[in-house]
Structure 1
Amino acid sequence: MIAIFGIKNCDTMKKAFRWLDENKITYTFHDYKKEGVEETTAQAWVNELGWESVINKRGTTWRKLDEETKNTMNNENAVHIIMSQPSMIKRPLLVIDQSIILGFSTEEYAEKLL
């Protein structure tokens, strides 16, 4: 089972949805802007990938954080931040069994999903 996490109206998410649909890959979608992110899920992502990978530091949500929060960011703080502001999570985030694919790349998707 493949679960894709993200925000429905994101352009990168739309590319990922299109690729998955064109390749007839079945998935479930979790809109974390509407549904939120559970602490255990956020913790698992941060533990596996590190906060530097999970948090989108190019996005406006990151840029709006105060400097102290940015400068003291660590895995523990990141879990609480992404739970309260899930739009800060890089997207899409695919969970396949126990593996995670972060971001969208046709090459990586083809390699791991076909």
Structure 2
Amino acid sequence: MGEIVLYGIPNCDTVKKARDWFEKRSIAYRFHDYKKAGIEKDKLEEWVLEFGWEPILNKRGTTFRGLPDVLKQDIDGDKAIMLMAAHPEMIKRPIVEGGDSPIIGYDSTAYEVLCGIDN
């Protein structure tokens, strides 16, 4: 297991839940705040290459819903990356890296596997 990096925004309830999960178990992680640090296009490309854009682009949030219709149509990987780079709050939260494959969304079972916790 490498360094655990939790990507998200601090006021997101799901991100808070994930951060609490790691903190209650005294598991070290680095928080990458999209609002302060943004997100590198290379990182988005890496995630989209592994998972496709659909699980990563949050189309249910207010930011996506507030986009002009022309931007919400005909989305492909390149367009999704462009949208998420311009508006990181549209990235599904949290994304946790540190193992073989990133974990998208809150998943305590996957966090246990990542951290080698036996139940």
Query: What range is the shorter-chain TM-score in?
Result: over 0.9
Q: Give the aligned length.
A: 114
Q: Residue in 2 aligned with 1:42?
A: 44
Shift of 1:66: 2.0
Structure 2 distance, partners of 1:28, 1:46, is 22
RMSD: 1.3
Report percent identity of matched pairs: 41
2:111 is aligned with 1:109 = yes
Shift of 1:97: 4.0
User: What letter is aligned with 2:47?
Assistant: W
Shift of 1:67: 2.1
Structure 1 distance, partners of 2:91, 2:21, is 21
TM-score normalised according to structure 1 size: 0.92
**Higher fraction of helix:** 1
Is residue 98–residue 114 contact of structure 2 (8 Å, CA) maintained in 1? no
Is residue 4–residue 98 contact of structure 2 (8 Å, CA) maintained in 1? yes
Unaligned 5+ residue runs, structure 2?
none
Output one character per residue of 1:14-41: Cα deviation in whole Å (capped at 9) or x when no partner. Answer: 1101100112211111101111111111
**Moved beyond 4 Å, runs of 4+:** none
Unaligned 5+ residue runs, structure 1?
none
Structure 2 distance, partners of 1:41, 1:81, is 14
